[in-house]
A and B are shown apart, each in its own frame.
Chain A
Amino acid sequence: MAITTAPADVAVVDDAAPQREFRRLPWVSFAVIAVLALVAVLAPLIATHSPTEQSLPDKLRPPAWQEGGSTKHLLGTDLLGRDVFSRLVYGARVSLTVAMFALLSGGLIGLAIGILAGYAGGRTDSALMRIVDATLTFPTILIALVLAVSLGAGLGTIVLAITVIIWARFARVVRGEVLTVKTRDFVALARVHGCSHVRIMAIHIVPNVLNTFMVLMTLHIGFVIIVEASLSFLGAGIPPPTPSWGQMVADGRSHIASAWWLSALPGAAIMLVVLSFNLFGDWLRDWLDPRLRQV
């Protein structure tokens, strides 16, 4: 499975750079993300065709600007004569939905477990971290397949599979953060004032790791989209006919010479999104918390 980004559990404290840098908002990334969100929401209005309607005699038409293409199918058609443009548009919806839900669920579970482990320390920490270790040694494909069997292949299954993979990554980083926050004076002070553990975690710890969490989220969107694509390649992705970018790239990979648009267009879309979210995430990181360099 494609395992991206460095393990993010080493946070370097950059105290020597106290000045907060306001890097300019990366407008291009921002615009890409905004347009994409719009496309996903308004998919039915933008798409020129149904993403699943087939027309076999029209299969493998090239994009409009190429010889043999027509404006009827702006970006050409796929192996079953479906409109590539419309599939890309709906695919944005599917891929982003998967990314959003997987990140939210995986991220929140990771956040909760990371805080618990880091704050409680001792045996609890040890036990939870061993579970994290164990999770990280499993191949994603196995988890995805198991879930596909017990729940049936589908969007929900993929979300769940990615959740299972991703929570451990979040938990690790968050725990590391909590360990440093915990030693700060205000936590000790709160303890002295008789605050309950739950209250301390909720009021003092959570806000202090939220920045890290947000940055992790933006940086992992790309990871999720790529994992979804890799699962499609290995035959455990979002089942057809539902269009998703990853699956479109996987389906088109055998036709690079004869029909480049099948995989190159969704591939470019993925690249653009991952790039945008990463640049956005970098900016967010610098803006929110210049201390944090490693996530």
Chain B
Amino acid sequence: MRIRRPVVLLGLLAMLGLAAGVAPATAQDRDTLVIALDTLGAMVMDPIADTRAPHAHYHAPVWDSLVGFDFDKGGIGPGVAERWEGAPDGKSWTFHLRKGLKFHNGDPVTAHDVKFSLERKMSPESIASGAAALRRAIDKIDVVDDHTVRVHTKGVIPHFVASLSRAVFMEGTVMPKKYIESVGVKGFREKPIGSGPWKFVRLVPGDRIEYEAVTTPHWRGTPQFKRMVLLLVPEQSTRIAMVRTGEASIASIGPDAIKEAQAGGMRIVSVPGTMQAVYQFWGTYKPEAKGSPVTDVRVREALSLAIDRQQIIDHVMGKQARWPIAFATFRYSSDVTIPRWEDWAKTSLRYDPARAKKLLADAGYPNGFKLTFWNTALPGTPFMVQIGEAVAGFWEKIGVKVEMKTVEWGVFDPQTRGEQKGLAATASMYRTAGRPEPAPRYTTFTSKGVQHIFGDTKDCPALCQEVDKVYESVVSEKDDARRLAATNKMLEVVANSWMAVPIVEGVGLWAVNPKRVGQFKPIPGRHEFGDVAERMPRADQKPW
């Protein structure tokens, strides 16, 4: 029995050792805005070295975009270019730059910087999301004067301006020509400067990026906080804990965490129209798909009628989602008649299991059939898997035997490239990102598109040919009214095919500690806060 004492002592010593290091959780300083994120991408401070979403998280604070946002409605608005106009022949665009805008080292932002930036984005070493599209589009760039730049496009591209807005891609980022040329790429990546409302301070690999607010008024909004830190915290429950304890002010979350965050006293901020969760059928035109139930349009419509979207919105998305409209179309989309598609969605996307069963019976499958369903989530929207599970659950209820294959995106995606072997006559989850124009997303249906779900260049059935034709008429039409009509037509052809079907319009979700940050309004369609942080008020300040 006597050995107990030393053992206890040893234990105590150990505890003491640990306790010596214990300090109360550090109180966070009120001048710093701390945002905990699920991803910080590659953490390379160079706009040509990362892709779209990470760019909008951690590049956007430092750099401005040539074309900006419509803050209220979403979609595009003025940026570094205050205004722009297209030439009558539709083959060139003239951008008039904001005057008095300066980079962080004091150099003025000029048309030379814009030309340099666009060319850098198109360069072979650029991995920016839309680099290839830009190369396809731009013929040459002229500097008219210090504040005017003219871009000549290869052919008529009505959506060109939008593609230079961060609302779509990241190609319009304006970088400092003189600075990069003098310090070199390596120097630029180590000490990057831009013209945005936040100056880069420090980057700790795998952990955080620190910024400091500019002190002069900025056209995007002058930051209310003196500093900003973006933290990489991959685990959602840890992010929520950090906002709850005040270690972070804001954290990105998924819909499954809404309840947990509210239980912890956090405010939920939802960004409307950031994505649309859809499912789509693959290779129904292929010989391997012959005789498959899903080649019958009645079956495909039945599968849509079987889904109770309101339940998914209420219960999977925690009421933080909206009834979708047409494929890849949002309330802020241009080129489409929104009310018409809202009406269409209300009736056509309704929940009607009785009619679904009848359609199945009409098609010759009164007892259902077997369907392979790839359940996968694109990066940044992991909750797609839960939506997929819910959809499969509804299909089961009308008698469809769903063989669900839950796969990681990196595994599923390569299958959709090229031959698409193994995908024929199967369905999968998919997503459309929140962009102002639906047209670019409709390449899914054209025979030359990557996904070519209606038919490929070798085998293009009637429906595929129809889409090819109407798509061409949309993307080359410079007259707004005619383009509107053509786009509506394109949406109609796709909607009636029931081949790619919207499930819900998703929102971007954030948990905010109300003691740290006041009320602010996100930009519709722009999930990331890289263009919002400068307008976030402190907790005791007026809402923005």
- B289 CB within 8 Å of chain A: no
Chain B residues lying within 8 Å of A241, measured Cβ to Cβ, are: 389, 392, 404
Looking at B36-44, B163-171, B309-317, B490-498, the stretch in contact with chain A turns out to be B309-317
Nearest-neighbour CB distance to chain A for B257, whole angstroms, equals 5
Chain B residues lying within 8 Å of A239, measured Cβ to Cβ, are: 375, 404-407
CA A171 – CA B407 in complex, angstroms? Answer: 32
CB distance A81 to B315 under 8 Å? yes
- B484 CB within 8 Å of chain A: no
- A126 CB within 8 Å of chain B: no
Give per-residue flags for A50-90: 1 if the beta carbon is below 8 A from chain B beta carbons, else 0: 00111011011000000000000000000111000000000
- B518 CB within 8 Å of chain A: no
CA A236 – CA B375 in complex, angstroms? Answer: 14
* Apart from A153-B406, A235-B408, A257-B263, 18 more pairs, CB < 8 Å: A56-B311, A56-B315, A56-B390, A79-B316, A80-B316, A80-B386, A145-B408, A153-B407, A153-B408, A239-B404, A240-B406, A241-B389, A253-B237, A254-B256, A256-B237, A258-B262, A259-B259, A259-B260
- B334 CB within 8 Å of chain A: no
- A20 CB within 8 Å of chain B: no
CA A58 – CA B311 in complex, angstroms? Answer: 11
Total interface residues in chain B, CB < 8 Å:
30
Using known A-B contacts A54-B390, A56-B312, determine if residue A148 contacts B263 with beta carbons closer than 8 Å.
Answer: no
CB distance A57 to B407 under 8 Å? no
- A199 CB within 8 Å of chain B: no
- A26 CB within 8 Å of chain B: no
- The prevalent SS among residues of B at the interface is helix
Nearest-neighbour CB distance to chain B for A110, whole angstroms, equals 29
Chain B contacts with A in 297-320, Cβ cutoff 8 A: 308, 311-312, 314-316
Chain A contacts with B in 4-61, Cβ cutoff 8 A: 52-54, 56-57, 59-60
CB distance B236 to A254 under 8 Å? yes
- B18 CB within 8 Å of chain A: no
- A191 CB within 8 Å of chain B: no
- B108 CB within 8 Å of chain A: no
CB distance A153 to B405 under 8 Å? yes
Which bucket holds chain A's interface residue count? 20 to 34
Nearest-neighbour CB distance to chain A for B317, whole angstroms, equals 11
- A255 CB within 8 Å of chain B: yes
Chain B residues lying within 8 Å of A81, measured Cβ to Cβ, are: 315
CB distance B404 to A240 under 8 Å? yes
Chain B contacts with A in 375-420, Cβ cutoff 8 A: 375, 385-386, 389-390, 392-393, 396, 404-408, 411
11 A-B pairs whose Cβ atoms sit less than 8 Å apart in the complex:
A53-B393, A56-B312, A81-B315, A148-B407, A148-B411, A239-B405, A241-B389, A254-B260, A255-B260, A257-B260, A258-B259
Chain A residues lying within 8 Å of B390, measured Cβ to Cβ, are: 54, 56, 80
CB distance B408 to A236 under 8 Å? yes
Q: What 8 A-B pairs come out closest when comparing CB atoms?
A: A239-B406, A54-B393, A56-B315, A258-B263, A56-B311, A254-B237, A258-B260, A258-B259
Residue on A with the closest CB to B409? A235
Nearest-neighbour CB distance to chain B for A291, whole angstroms, equals 26
CA A80 – CA B404 in complex, angstroms? Answer: 16
- A149 CB within 8 Å of chain B: yes
- The prevalent SS among residues of A at the interface is loop
- A121 CB within 8 Å of chain B: no
- A207 CB within 8 Å of chain B: no
Chain B residues lying within 8 Å of A152, measured Cβ to Cβ, are: 405, 407
CA A24 – CA B189 in complex, angstroms? Answer: 67
CB distance B393 to A80 under 8 Å? yes
Interchain pairs with CB closer than 8 A, number = 78
Residues on A facing B (Cβ under 8 Å): 52-54, 56-57, 59-60, 79-81, 145, 148-149, 152-153, 235-236, 239-241, 253-259
Q: In the complex, which of the residues B263, B315, B404 contacts A59, with contact meaning CB atoms closer than 8 Å?
A: B315
Nearest-neighbour CB distance to chain A for B64, whole angstroms, equals 36
Chain A residues lying within 8 Å of B406, measured Cβ to Cβ, are: 153, 239-240
Q: In the complex, which of the residues B311, B386, B392 contacts A57, with contact meaning CB atoms closer than 8 Å?
A: B311
Chain B residues lying within 8 Å of A59, measured Cβ to Cβ, are: 315
- B264 CB within 8 Å of chain A: yes
Chain B residues lying within 8 Å of A60, measured Cβ to Cβ, are: 259
Chain A residues lying within 8 Å of B389, measured Cβ to Cβ, are: 54, 80, 240-241
CA A249 – CA B237 in complex, angstroms? Answer: 13
Chain B contacts with A in 348-396, Cβ cutoff 8 A: 375, 385-386, 389-390, 392-393, 396
Using known A-B contacts A148-B408, A240-B389, A241-B389, determine if residue A255 contacts B259 with beta carbons closer than 8 Å.
Answer: yes
Chain A residues lying within 8 Å of B262, measured Cβ to Cβ, are: 258
- B240 CB within 8 Å of chain A: yes
Nearest-neighbour CB distance to chain B for A239, whole angstroms, equals 3
CA A52 – CA B264 in complex, angstroms? Answer: 30
Chain B residues lying within 8 Å of A259, measured Cβ to Cβ, are: 259-260
CB distance B392 to A79 under 8 Å? no
Using known A-B contacts A255-B259, A257-B263, determine if residue A57 contacts B408 with beta carbons closer than 8 Å.
Answer: no
CB distance B315 to A57 under 8 Å? yes
Give per-residue flags for B79-107: 1 if the beta carbon is below 8 A from chain A beta carbons, else 0: 00000000000000000000000000000
CA A153 – CA B404 in complex, angstroms? Answer: 11
Chain B contacts with A in 247-271, Cβ cutoff 8 A: 256-257, 259-260, 262-264
Nearest-neighbour CB distance to chain B for A242, whole angstroms, equals 9
CB distance B393 to A240 under 8 Å? no
CA A56 – CA B318 in complex, angstroms? Answer: 11
CA A145 – CA B404 in complex, angstroms? Answer: 18
CA A255 – CA B264 in complex, angstroms? Answer: 11
Chain A residues lying within 8 Å of B375, measured Cβ to Cβ, are: 239-240
Nearest-neighbour CB distance to chain A for B467, whole angstroms, equals 31
Using known A-B contacts A56-B311, A239-B407, determine if residue A79 contacts B256 with beta carbons closer than 8 Å.
Answer: yes
Chain A residues lying within 8 Å of B257, measured Cβ to Cβ, are: 254-255
Chain A residues lying within 8 Å of B237, measured Cβ to Cβ, are: 253-254, 256
CA A236 – CA B237 in complex, angstroms? Answer: 19
CA A145 – CA B409 in complex, angstroms? Answer: 12
Chain B residues lying within 8 Å of A235, measured Cβ to Cβ, are: 408
Give per-residue flags for B304-346: 1 if the beta carbon is below 8 A from chain A beta carbons, else 0: 0000100110111000000000000000000000000000000
CA A56 – CA B389 in complex, angstroms? Answer: 11
Nearest-neighbour CB distance to chain A for B126, whole angstroms, equals 29
